[in-house]
Amino acid sequence: MDDGTLILKMNSGISVLSAFVNWKGAALALDYQMEIMARKGEAKKNQWNIRRMLSILKSQYGKDSELQIDVNRKIPSGMGLKSSSALVSGVVKAYSLFNDIKMEIEDIVTVSSRISRQIRVSATGASDDLYASVLGGLCITDNRNAKLLRHYRIKEKHYIIITSKGRRSSYDFGKIDLSFLRNAYERMFQRLNSYNFEDIAIMNGFYLGTISGINMPGEILNKLRFNIMGINGKGPSLFLQYENPKTLERDVEILKKDNVGFLVASSTNISSSHEWKNE
């Protein structure tokens, strides 16, 4: 590509079925996006993970071009909103475009999944989160083989994500023995579709959130008018689903007054996009 700045907008998401148990996962993309700006230049010294990603890509593809990457409107990390997947897939996509490496979506996810394990931001490779980040919609995957099994476009739904204090490492959580949940998760996987995915997400959050010790803030939640509520995967965030955006706006104001933590008000998203700007 020509010199200039590449702007990538990568989706955040919520967990529908976590792949920690049997490698089958699902994630739903949200339009609260991470904006990644890439241009030719040396990576910043304090961006350890980005420098590590670029080093891995360079060793694999033999391309020498250096990239300087800036991240705007950063999805909060460690809160279950798929920030690591948005960043890794964005860096891989930017690297491929700058170096004229032809990559389909499947290639971006496969490479990103391998890098996620190498730099220890994911124990499973997080293919479900990566597909949601790049492709949008509801993505159901075989994370062991970084394969997209089913993809659904979801009608617009509105969510509030409440992030509480504390963080959860996906890599460390993957070390927990969850084999006792295999039968339950296989049944959840077999049932999962575009109509009942929120029910599956609630069950997924109940299992993993209980193991993580996540507590529901009942006193605050009693004031709200959401349709569906659940723990977002292993936590520490909660998701609240709304059909009416005005009701969501009302509840956002209540939550702000109660100072519950970081809030994300978002809706389902179909796809991500990139824009090339010459400077």
Domain 5-273 has CATH 2.30.38.10: no
- Specify the pLDDT at position 219: 77
Tell me what pLDDT residue 273 has: 46
pLDDT confidence of residue 249: 95
Amino acid letter, 45: K
Least confident range from 7-16, 174-183, 189-198, 232-241: namely 232-241
Confidence tier at 165 by pLDDT (50, 70, 90): low
Q: Which of 163, 209, 201, 166 is nearest to 185 (CA)?
A: 201
- pTM for the complete prediction? 0.90
SS3 55: helix
State the average pLDDT over residues 15-40.
93
pLDDT interval class at 2 (50, 70, 90): low
Look over the chain and give the mean of its residue pLDDT values, rounded to a whole number: 87
Quickly count: other Cβ atoms within 10 Å of residue 151's Cβ: 15
